[in-house]
A and B are shown apart, each in its own frame.
Chain A
Amino acid sequence: MIVAEQKTLDEIKTLLGDGRRVLVVGCGTCVTVCFAGGEREAGVLACSLRMACQLDGHAREITDVTVQRQCEWEFLDAAADQIKDADVVLSIGCGVGVQAIAERFPNTWVVPGLDTKFMGLPTEQGIWAERCAACGECLLGVTGGVCPIARCSKSLLNGPCGGSEGGHCEINPDVPCGWQLIYDRMEKLGKLEVLMDLQPPKNWQKSRDGGPRKIVREDLRLPHEE
């Protein structure tokens, strides 16, 4: 899932500027399950902002709505009337959701209420950890299902580096060394020989270095009308 974290109330109030009618838009997908921007969080944030703005003497009309999936234009149409009526839309979806609203409603001012952090999973209740960096060319097949890009601080393809000590990374003793995790898992699976194959330099053009990415599936596209 995409994992995000709410900005501070002060940051959000600054982003709202002079907007009088504010609509908080939650998302029912990733940010609901990481408790950052779902229906409950939209309600809590709208209520908090109403009270905080009242105390600031800033008259605002703040309401909230949550759509099932903020990152698809069609799902936004369920809240179209409310979005169009707002002076400012405070999206608490991920960065994709904010941009989806901006694209679907070109005349609407949209601001983010969350900082989108990473793609990860909950390791225990209340804790989320990064697992994928969307590098564009998955290496998990040669690293035993542990990602060297997301879990090694240096994203080394042939690790570990000299900063690995006692299974931990030199950046922080609380961070496990990604390559130690890879080695341990390969050893447990009896596949250490796979690690003897050196990985060539990665083509980072398939990641962000190649600019904004796009996938085209001709078999799924609707036929163009002549």
Chain B
Amino acid sequence: MSSQPVDQSFEPEITAFYCGYCGYMAADTAGALKVQYPANVKFIRLPCIGKTDIRYLLAAFEQGADAVYLVACPLGNCHHVRGNERGVARVNRAKKLLDEIGIGGSRVDMFFMSGSQANAFADAARTMTTRIRELGPSPLKVKAGRALGGTA
């Protein structure tokens, strides 16, 4: 974590991929229950988190994301049996690649929840937003000399 003071005005741009089963249902439940979560997360629906390709994760960073995370069914409860385990392996690989690139592997993560867990869905968004506020904008943005977050 950065030792710099946290800039609360920085709104990180976060891309999240969720599966069409638990992830999507959790988002839907959060909406139905009017559970609030940070508005700076953009969601992309995948048929299963096993569909996650490292290209998707890297492309999100290249296109301006400060962080990326996956929302999947709980381990052992994937609709496609082991798709979420494949997602874990890809996130781990992406972390190594991001460290090697210089962006930092802690900017990518994964969360597990069932379709009824609206608060867990909101917590994931809050956790990532808080973490990225502490880390600051993506080094790509800093290098490009952009202003903080969405105000680039």
Q: Verify B54–A44 contact, CB threshold 8 A.
A: yes
Among A40, A50, A51, the most chain B Cβ lie within 10 Å of the Cβ of: A51
Q: Verify A52–B143 contact, CB threshold 8 A.
A: no
Q: Which of A8, A40, A50, A56 contacts B55 (CB 8 A)?
A: A40
A55 to B101, CA, bound (A): 8
Considering the complex, give the chain A residue whose CB is closest to the CB of B99: A9
Q: Which residues of B contact A203 (CB under 8 A)?
A: none
Nearest-neighbour CB distance to chain B for A50, whole angstroms, equals 6
Given A40-B53, A44-B54, A48-B97, does the pair A55, B143 have CB atoms closer than 8 Å?
yes
Q: Verify A51–B55 contact, CB threshold 8 A.
A: no
Given A44-B97, A57-B143, does the pair A51, B103 have CB atoms closer than 8 Å?
yes
Q: Which of A40, A43, A52 contacts B101 (CB 8 A)?
A: A52
Q: Which residues of B contact A161 (CB under 8 A)?
A: none
B39 within 8 Å of A by Cβ? no
B61 within 8 Å of A by Cβ? yes
Q: Verify B61–A51 contact, CB threshold 8 A.
A: yes
Complex interface bits, A35-73 against B, C-beta within 8 A gives 1, otherwise 0: 000001001100110111011110000000000000000
B58 within 8 Å of A by Cβ? yes
In terms of DSSP, what is the predominant structure of the interface of chain A?
helix
Q: Which residues of A contact B100 (CB under 8 A)?
A: 8-10, 48, 52
Tally of contact residues, A, Cβ under 8 A: 15
A59 to B59, CA, bound (A): 18
Complex interface bits, B20-59 against A, C-beta within 8 A gives 1, otherwise 0: 0000000000000000000000000000000001110011
Complex interface bits, B53-88 against A, C-beta within 8 A gives 1, otherwise 0: 111001101100000000000000000000000000
Q: Which residues of A contact B150 (CB under 8 A)?
A: none
Q: Verify B58–A52 contact, CB threshold 8 A.
A: no
A142 to B129, CA, bound (A): 64
Q: Which residues of A contact B62 (CB under 8 A)?
A: 47, 50-51
Q: Which residues of B contact A9 (CB under 8 A)?
A: 100-101
A9 to B97, CA, bound (A): 9
Considering the complex, give the chain A residue whose CB is closest to the CB of B97: A48
Q: Which of A8, A40, A51 contacts B140 (CB 8 A)?
A: A51
Nearest-neighbour CB distance to chain B for A51, whole angstroms, equals 5
> Which parts of A155-176 form the interface with B (CB within 8 Å)?
none
Q: Which of B53, B54, B97, B140 contacts A55 (CB 8 A)?
A: B140
Nearest-neighbour CB distance to chain A for B13, whole angstroms, equals 15
Q: Verify B143–A47 contact, CB threshold 8 A.
A: no
Complex interface bits, B106-150 against A, C-beta within 8 A gives 1, otherwise 0: 000000000000000000000000000000000110011000000
Among B53, B101, B102, B143, the most chain A Cβ lie within 10 Å of the Cβ of: B101
A56 to B103, CA, bound (A): 11
| Beyond A44-B54, A44-B97, A47-B55, 6 extra complex contacts between A and B, CB < 8 Å | A48-B100, A51-B140, A52-B101, A55-B103, A55-B140, A56-B102
A-B CB proximity, top 8 nearest: A55-B102, A47-B58, A52-B101, A9-B100, A51-B101, A43-B55, A48-B101, A44-B54
For this complex, 30 residue pairs linking A to B, each with C-beta atoms less than 8 Å apart, are: A8-B100, A9-B100, A9-B101, A10-B100, A40-B53, A40-B54, A40-B55, A43-B55, A44-B54, A44-B55, A44-B58, A44-B97, A47-B55, A47-B58, A47-B59, A47-B62, A48-B97, A51-B58, A51-B62, A51-B102, A51-B103, A51-B140, A52-B100, A52-B102, A54-B143, A54-B144, A55-B139, A55-B140, A55-B143, A56-B102
